[in-house]
Amino acid sequence: MDIIVILFLVIGLFFFLGGAVGIIRMPDFYTRLHPAGKLDTLGIFAMVTGLSLYNLQHFSFEALLLSAKMFLIVFFVFLSSPTATHSIVDAGMRAGLRHWTKKKRRG
């Protein structure tokens, strides 16, 4: 059981690492949104799955409620993360920021 929990946590940390590296390396703010909004969401999903499995090791009704509460966080993040991303993109579009393209870099 511990091995599964460790696996989930490491996978989640790996997703978070990808998100952080992507935020640093991407060339423009629209492309930066891609790793920021979504790799973090999946990282939260994986880590909360691992933590709630660890929580359910000593099984009781309170532990079950606690795990349900943790999955409420995941549910909320899955709803709110696209909304926040869309809101930031909308602000950028209204401000008139143009997006980075390949041709601009060559020519």
Half-sphere exposure of 47 (CA within 13 A, CB side): 15
4 binding another protein? (CB under 8 A) = no
**Share in percent of the chain as helix, strand, coil (round to 5):** 85, 0, 15
Please select the residue that binds another protein; options are 53, 59, 97, 107, rule is CB under 8 A.
97
Minimum distance, C-beta of residue 60 to another protein, in the bound complex (Å) = 12
Figure out which of the listed residues 3, 59, 96, 107 binds another protein, where binding follows CB under 8 A.
96
Considering the complex, state which of residue 22 and residue 59 has its C-beta at the smaller distance from another protein: 22
Residues in region 20-79 near another protein by CB under 8 A = 20-44, 47-48, 51, 54-55, 62, 65-66, 68-70, 72-73, 76-79
Asked if 7 touches another protein (CB under 8 A), the answer is: no
CA distances from 55 to 49, 50, 65 (A): 10, 9, 10
The answer to whether 35 touches 22, Cβ cutoff 8 Å, is yes
